[in-house]
Amino acid sequence: MTQQLALPDGQVIPYQLCLRPRKTVGLKITASGLVVHAPHRLPAAQLAQVLQDKAHWIQSKLALRAAMTEPPMQWQSGEALWWMGQPIVLALQPGGRQQAVRLEGAALVVPTPEPDNLALTARKVLQWYQRQALPDFSRRVQLVATQMGETVNHVALSNARARWGSCNSRREIRLNWRLIQAPPQLIQYVVCHEMAHLREMNHSARFYAELRALYADYLAAEAALKQWSNKLHRMA
Ligand SMILES: [Zn+2]
């Protein structure tokens, strides 16, 4: 039977629950998602606790599996990339040592002295994404902060595998640089989610009321973000 695991960060993970004559809970990630093998007599609350304790493991395994379903990066000219929800294409420019990586129309032009050095190309592309991401995210955070009448002490990029953002009691916001590949409304959703945590450091009804005031259609955005997850995790 299909069950749902609601995680503290708001993610809801569907899973198959199989009751078995066994003593411990077993978790498996399959092509169709999370499968939980549990003893027949295990109280629901105890199972819920086991799953919450394993939440990080579950999320990272699911993200890994999702990333694996996308073709691996080749880092060659013609490679399809995403930028703010739009498809763009990698264009290596051999020889250009001094020139900067830049977006020209729908081409990400990457000057490189060594077009066959995949690690070098990857580094240049990732740096470019990260350099674009921080000012965009910072501007969004500042706009939402103004709208809320709140202050933020620091905005930084994160490289987490299974989290899109975080907010702490020191009023520091971290946002996953991979989001800059996604449509702007999804970036905005994650910004609003983290900003709502300035007021409610949990996922209570009060938190969702704050979030709804900032981003009304947050459920659709959460669902869309899951759809995008594979694409956004293609780059290491
Ligand atoms: Zn949250």
Domains (range + CATH), the chain: 2-68 (no CATH), 80-232 (3.30.2010.10)
Q: How many angstroms does the Cα of residue 208 sit away from the middle of ligand 1? A: 9
Q: How many angstroms does the Cα of residue 134 sit away from the middle of ligand 1? A: 20
Does 70 score more than 90 pLDDT?
no
Average pLDDT over residues 201-211: 97
Average pLDDT over residues 154-166: 94
Q: How many angstroms does the Cα of residue 163 sit away from the middle of ligand 1? A: 10
Tens digits of residue pLDDT in 11-62: 888 899 999 999 999 999 887 789 999 999 999 999 999 999 999 899 888 8
Q: How many angstroms does the Cα of residue 62 sit away from the middle of ligand 1? A: 18
Average pLDDT over residues 164-181: 97
Q: How many angstroms does the Cα of residue 22 sit away from the middle of ligand 1? A: 35
Does 64 score more than 90 pLDDT?
no
Q: Are 179 and 190 in contact (CB under 8 A)?
A: yes
Q: How many angstroms does the Cα of residue 99 sit away from the middle of ligand 1? A: 40
Q: How far apart are CA 87 and CA 16, in angstroms?
A: 35
Q: How many angstroms does the Cα of residue 235 sit away from the middle of ligand 1? A: 24
Q: How many angstroms does the Cα of residue 59 sit away from the middle of ligand 1? A: 14
Q: How far apart are CA 59 and CA 212, in angstroms?
A: 25
- For residues 11 and 119, the model is more confident at 119
Compute CA 1 distance to the chain's CA centroid, rounded to the nearest angstrom.
Answer: 28
Q: Is 7 exposed, middle or buried (0-12, 13-18, 19+ CB in 10 A)?
A: middle
Q: Are 175 and 159 in contact (CB under 8 A)?
A: no
What percent of the chain is predicted at pLDDT more than 70? 98
This prediction's pTM: 0.72
Ion ligand 1: residue ranges with CB closer than 5 A: 9-10
Q: How many angstroms does the Cα of residue 30 sit away from the middle of ligand 1? A: 26
Q: In Å, what is the CA distance from 156 to each residue of 90, 165, 171, 186, 214?
A: 26, 10, 11, 18, 21
Q: How many angstroms does the Cα of residue 164 sit away from the middle of ligand 1? A: 9
Q: Which helix (H) or strand (E) holds 80?
A: strand 80-83
Q: Which helix (H) or strand (E) holds 146?
A: helix 118-148
Q: How many angstroms does the Cα of residue 170 sit away from the middle of ligand 1? A: 16
